[in-house]
Every structure is written in structure tokens, then in C-alpha cells.
Chain A
């Protein structure tokens, strides 16, 4: 056995070899132990992913959010059914946008939704293909959003849902 030959190159008596032959066994046990630690870690990572998703699901869609109107399976890129709007959000393809959608018809930073105390406003950021609010193309200044407004950019359509009371 190569292992024991290696050991006996030094000055080791035959009695000592008995214990040292346990070393490969020990390493094998550590080896298997590490595999189990690996498995446990993966299960933990998966569970924490599930916990995060469950939290998102249970917190539900309260407050203000954009709900997707398109059929998801007809789209070629990952997209959510709804996007929560808690604060100012930018919408676009760029990674810096809070609402990041990989739609080729969106500009890198396409539009933004600004949220003030009692209302949110939509503002098109000079996008290539434009943004439409209830059918009318947006220009220039931010426009206030009310519950039920339909927003379109690129090939996507969203409905704006909020429980904020309307400014009268």
C-alpha cells in the first residue's frame, strides 16, 4: 500500500504504523462529514430563499404597486406579476433601476415614479419609445397617478393600484 510505504520511509516502528493507518480513514470520515455539511448548507440556503419568498407573499400586495397586465408566458424575459412602490423608483433595463425589466423596448432608464406624502407621480425620462398613461403619451412634467391608471411602456402594460386617498 503506497500510503504505508510513504510513512515507513521515516524511522517508524511497526507498532506505530497500526495507529497511523487510521489516518486515511479519518480523512475519509472528514471528507464525508464535509459533504453532509455541504448538503445541510444547501438545504439552509434553499429554506431561507423560501422564507424570503413566503414573507413577500404574505405581506401581500398592500400599499402601492404596479400590476402587470400582459400574459407572462408570452414574454421572453423574467418579469413579476406586480412591483411594489414604496419610495421613488426608476423603471428601465439598467441594473441601477429599482424596477428592472429586461424588455428590449425599454430604455436603460425609461421612466420614474416619484412618491410624495399623499400621491405618486409618473415621469417619463426621455425614453426612446415613450410612456403612455391611459392611452395618452406622457411629456415633460410628472403627472399624478390615481388608483386604476393604466401605464404602458414598450410592450408592457401595468395598472397602478394604491390605497392612498385621492387628493381632492
Chain B
């Protein structure tokens, strides 16, 4: 028990890093008002308290929250540097997120209903309902009809639907286990018909996203489905069908959809693109990252405000400008560690449904981070996805915390005692 105190050291590092960041910003801002200072202090205390709870009360894998708190600390400092109000909101969302985290953790852990076939139908029904509501009442922002404006707050339903998607697919893939005949337990008991049903459900979701012109999310959902199909499905037939459909879809998108054509053109030659308003985002990003160089310009010495939408999707560019390539690589490594932990949890789980869900969530974080960072560094065309835990945005943060809670719950349910290292 005592030796566990040594495990607090990494969290202390997170706190020191946060204090240094706050310190620099304090000095450069000529100080903050007391409300902001109280907020920051409360944030650090909350992080310390939550981590201690997870560590000492054995709430499951301790590394998940540790990595997330470092990622979040970097995010908060970048956001504070960009926009104090946004940072304040982000901290508020963090409080709500942590409450939600413990609630979801407890609820998910206690009940075993999550893979019940009736509940799986509810997931799908709820998702369709949310999609329809978004289509009907949503407001169009930056070309995608993705937000619901509820007055003071705006929600991005696709963030909620992401989790329902993973839960629904996992349930469908592993539900044959509910019949406890010996035959049904064999992995290749999943039938062709079932895989076809799952494919239709997956494309239902993807179809809705394409209707909403959410190309990035559609790609993300497709990759998650493809991963689950690869791991949980039988045979290569469905993988081949999906690969062909994806290639076909991408081709049609490139030829027919002007929105996509635009983005690809900007990606191929941002500096020469005829409409500077559209290409400004990636151009400014490239300038910013170049001026950052390897070690960065230093916190507060860069000029990230030139980048459009820098608070949400392109915050990684701001991090690269001020903390340099080394800072950007550090963030990427943190996400890689996080995904590693997630996949490990999936390997150690014994119940197929939990295995599938934790795999789906790990895949979600993995692909999401890849797609957004890839878009920021012009590795792939830009998409409208958010960077988990760092991008400013209540819906994004909320869905990340809920996913984290589910992952944490699975890790604690299956315990430290599996044979997988």
C-alpha cells in the first residue's frame, strides 16, 4: 500500500507542468482575476483527488486517467493561452465530465444489461432518433449540419452517437454468446446473416453521417466498424466487401461531391489554391508550425490566433507552434500510450462484450487522433473531427469522458489478474 505512493510521482509531474504553464501565462497576462486563479487551483486539486481515488481504491487501470490528465493539462494551458473564456468553459466541462466519469463508471460496472439484445435495439433506436433530430433541427456550421443549438449550449449529437454505435455493434457481434450452448461459444459461430445485419446497421449510421456531410465522422465510424469486423467477424468476405465499398464511396466522393473536391484540392496545393478564405486554415497552420520549428517559439511568443478555428480542431497546430515539434510528438506519444492501455484492457477482458466495447473505444480514440492530427499536419485532407480531451467543446469532452469511464469500468471488472501482460 505504501509503495503505491511512489506511483503518485507522475501525477506530481502533471501538476508541476500545469503550474509552470499557468505561471508563464500569469506573467504574460499581467495576472489573472481571482476567479480564474481559484478555477485553476480547483482543477489541480480535482485531478489529484480523482487520481488518488482511482489509485488507492483500485478503480481499475490507473494509467488511463494519468495519461488523460496530462493530455488535458496540455490542452487547458494551450486553451488558456488562446482564450480565457474558452479555457474557463473547458474547466467547467471538466468538472461535469469528472462527475459523469464516476457516475458512468459505477453504473456500467454494476449493471450487466449493456449487451442485452433489447438494450442493443434501444441504442440503435436512440441513435436514429438523434440523427433525425439533428437533420430536422440542426444548424449548419462550416458546411456540416452537425450541431443542435439549445440556446446557451450547443450539442454535437454525433459525439453521443459514437458511443452508442460502439455499444450497439459490440452487442450485435457478441450476442450469440447469450445462448450458452457449447457450440455457440466457439468464435466462428457468428453467422453470415448476422454479419450482414451488422454491416447494414453500420452503414445506416454512416449513411446518416454522409447525409449530414460529416465526412470525417463517416470515415471514423467506418474505420471502427472495419476494425471490429476484422477482429470479431469470420472470414475475409465482409472485409473485402467493405474495402470495395469504401474505395467506391471515396471515388464517388472525389468525383461528385464538391465539398470533398475542395478539401482535396486545398490539401494538394494549399498555397496555390484560388480561394484564400478556404485554404487559410491549413496555410496558417503550416506557417505556424514552421515558425515553431523543433523547440517551438515558446509559450505566448507564437501567434496562433491567425489560424481559423484554432480552439477546436486545430489546437494541435497551436501546440506545435509554441512547444515545437518536440511538443507535438510528446502529445502524439501520450495518445499512443493511451491507446496501448485501451487495447491491453481489451485483451485482458474475459467477457466478449467487454472485449469488443473496449476494443471499439480504443479504436475510436486511435483513429480519431490519427485523423485530426493527420489533417492538421497536412498528411491527409482536413476533416471536422475534434482532438480528444484537448479540443474545446463540451460534447467532445463529454463523450471522451464517458468512453474513458466505460474503459475504466471494464478494466476494473476484469481486474489485475488475467494471464495477459
Least Cβ distance of B341 to chain A in Å? 8
Interface residues of A in 53-111 (CB under 8 A from B): 53-54, 57, 72-73, 76-81
Q: Do residues B421 and A42 form an inter-chain contact, with CB atoms below 8 A?
A: no
Count of A-B contacts judged by CB separation below 8 Å: 121
A→B interface (CB under 8 Å): 1-3, 5-6, 21-22, 24-32, 34-39, 41-43, 45-46, 50, 53-54, 57, 72-73, 76-81
Contacts of B297 in A (CB 8 A): 25
Q: Do residues A32 and B327 form an inter-chain contact, with CB atoms below 8 A?
A: yes
Q: Do residues B28 and A73 form an inter-chain contact, with CB atoms below 8 A?
A: no
Contacts of A6 in B (CB 8 A): 27-28, 30
B144-152, B228-236, B318-326: which lies at the interface: B318-326
Contacts of A30 in B (CB 8 A): 20
Least Cβ distance of A19 to chain B in Å? 13
Q: Do residues B28 and A39 form an inter-chain contact, with CB atoms below 8 A?
A: no
B→A interface (CB under 8 Å): 7, 9-10, 13-14, 16-17, 20-21, 23-24, 27-30, 63, 66-67, 70, 74, 112, 295-301, 322-324, 326-327, 330, 333-334, 337, 350-352, 412-417, 419, 421
Contacts of A24 in B (CB 8 A): 24, 28, 298-301
Q: Do residues B20 and A34 form an inter-chain contact, with CB atoms below 8 A?
A: yes
Q: How far is the CA of A72 from the CA of B354 in the complex (A)?
A: 14
Q: How far is the CA of A31 from the CA of B330 in the complex (A)?
A: 11
Contacts of A35 in B (CB 8 A): 17, 70, 74, 327, 330, 334
Residue from the list B13, B24, B301, B334 in contact with A34, Cβ < 8 A: B13
Residue from the list B13, B30, B112 in contact with A5, Cβ < 8 A: B30
Q: How far is the CA of A57 from the CA of B419 in the complex (A)?
A: 8
Q: Do residues B20 and A27 form an inter-chain contact, with CB atoms below 8 A?
A: yes
Contacts of A38 in B (CB 8 A): 10, 13-14, 17, 70
Q: Do residues B299 and A27 form an inter-chain contact, with CB atoms below 8 A?
A: yes
Contacts of B351 in A (CB 8 A): 73
Q: Do residues B415 and A25 form an inter-chain contact, with CB atoms below 8 A?
A: no
Contacts of B28 in A (CB 8 A): 1-3, 6, 24
CB-based nearest A residue for B330: A35
Contacts of B350 in A (CB 8 A): 72-73
Contacts of A22 in B (CB 8 A): 298
